[in-house]
Amino acid sequence: MVSRNPRSCPAGRVGILVRTMSKPLERTEVVWHAHGVPREDREALNGHAGCVVWFTGLSGCGKSTVANHVDQRLMARRVHACLLDGDNVRHGLNAGPEMLADRGAEFARRFGLGFGPMDRAENIRRVGAVAELFAQAGLVTLVAFVSPYRSDRAEVRRRIEAGRAGSFIEVWLDAPLDVCESRDPKGLYRKARAGQILEFTGISAPYEPPPSPELHLRTDTAPPDQLADAVVAALSARGLIPAT
Amino acid sequence: MVSRNPRSCPAGRVGILVRTMSKPLERTEVVWHAHGVPREDREALNGHAGCVVWFTGLSGCGKSTVANHVDQRLMARRVHACLLDGDNVRHGLNAGPEMLADRGAEFARRFGLGFGPMDRAENIRRVGAVAELFAQAGLVTLVAFVSPYRSDRAEVRRRIEAGRAGSFIEVWLDAPLDVCESRDPKGLYRKARAGQILEFTGISAPYEPPPSPELHLRTDTAPPDQLADAVVAALSARGLIPAT
């Protein structure tokens, strides 16, 4: 039954291959269907709820920094968390055309994501779907994306809340554009001002503030560790993670 | 700093809004950069490695059933796992055009995934990228997809192994086509034979067997609980999960 060094198989259509070379010696009459492990069992194992903490705000407002501080605090509390941000998503799941070029021009053109409104919508739709999977797996799922469009965030909220009411925590990290631009940690504002980046949020593309985020934090008047404390306190106050 | 009932904000471009109405009262001179929580810390918290267990095989070969049995066994051992399969991915992350219709025809056409070779490649590319994120989060990530093309699986393997050698476990669930077709749990073979489904693996689209999977299990001669035991034993033997 188990072959750790299976025979080498020629490429081809296993259907045809199998039908000409074998009949099953014995056919088990087992009912073949799936019983999923419930989300609640995964959460019980972890000792806390699975949920999505969605950080939104301008480039340079501190999303990645605050999210990483939160991540560290959760680890210190033995809370099972993960972090989805541009660094690990835009280079994999939501790669741009230039990163898919080795798969051929048509593939890259069809599936690579840019920064126009429709591409941003698809970017956020995918990240939301993945965040939902992580929440269902019982993790406190930190998501740090500019996510400038209200309707895109609202659709993610709708899906996540449909799975579990109260499990979507929107955190607006709010700083004035000139503060974000003066930080310019990746040099993107400079390029956007020079016209080298098109459709840049805050410069040449809109940012639509959340009308009713669970948390609204100013990031120009407090350091990231204080902001992270506020996020962790909010998760605790909502009963999503243990109090201590 | 923290506003739980933030003011209602008008839609619009916050960049322009902020520049005309406010200057920050105080600007903290904090270094704003991110320190990620290492994968090893998440694995230490979980008590086992993060890895990807990739089930491949024909429709009806038992992928979801065996993967769910494995999932249950891992839960019983307090191993942190998750399961990605068609049920939770093709309805979200990799939705088809018909499921994206409410976002408009152009969006659905552009981003909805079908079942042609290029769409299947993108389907597996995305699932592989998400599996990588789950493995990095320290979970034993069970993936159950037909994934008929060798090159698509090889590319996922390459990425996962680049992150951690030995963390991609390919499990070929192998049953003769006539066995899978006689099970036909979703009635798909019947539809494929009737020409109602095009490009159906084993009937009108190829299945390329893995040349060297970590495990090769026949699913027509053993019940799913025995197969699941074999998978769990293999994970334990490779040191990916504790022995007991």
Residue A206: its chain B contacts at CB < 8 A?
Answer: 12-13
Helices A224-237 and A63-76: crossing angle in degrees, nearest 10, is 60
Of the candidates A28, A183, A215, the beta carbon closest to that of B222 is on A28
Give A156: exposed, middle or buried? Use CB within 10 Å, 0-12, 13-18, 19+: buried
Torsion sign (Cα): A154, B142, A46, B132: negative
Q: Which positions ≥6 away from A187 have C-beta within 8 Å?
A: none
DSSP β-ladder status, B2-3 and A215-218 = antiparallel
- Amino acid identity of residue A234, one-letter, is A
Taking a C-beta distance cutoff of 8 angstroms, is the pair B131, B42 a contact? no
Residue A162 touches partner B, C-beta closer than 8 Å: no
Q: How far apart are CA B207 and CA B184, in angstroms?
A: 17
DSSP β-ladder status, B81-85 and B51-56 = unpaired
Residue B32: its chain A contacts at CB < 8 A?
Answer: 60, 62, 65, 183, 185, 224
Chain A / chain B CB contacts < 8 angstroms: 276
Give A206: exposed, middle or buried? Use CB within 10 Å, 0-12, 13-18, 19+: middle
> What does the pLDDT profile of chain A (244 residues) look like in tens digits?
333 333 333 332 222 222 223 333 333 344 455 568 999 999 999 999 999 999 999 999 999 999 999 999 999 999 999 999 987 898 899 999 999 999 999 999 999 998 888 999 999 999 999 999 999 999 999 999 999 999 999 999 999 999 999 999 999 999 999 999 999 988 999 999 999 999 999 999 999 999 999 999 999 999 999 999 999 999 999 999 999 7
Quote the DSSP letter at residue A186: T
Tokens 């990425």 belong to B159
Residue A102 touches partner B, C-beta closer than 8 Å: no
Whether B223 and A179 lie within 8 Å, measured CB to CB: no
Of the candidates B15, B172, B227, the beta carbon closest to that of A202 is on B15
Alpha helix segments (H runs only) across chain B: 14-21, 39-46, 63-76, 86-89, 105-111, 117-136, 150-163, 177-183, 188-193, 224-237
DSSP β-ladder status, A51-56 and A168-174 = parallel
Q: Which positions ≥6 away from A155 have C-beta within 8 Å?
A: A124, A125, A128
* Strand, helix or coil for residue B210: coil
Whether A37 and B179 lie within 8 Å, measured CB to CB: no
Which residues of B are known catalytic residues?
147
A positions 63-82 inside 8 Å of B (CB): 64-65, 67-68, 71-72, 75, 78, 80-82
Residue A3 touches partner B, C-beta closer than 8 Å: yes
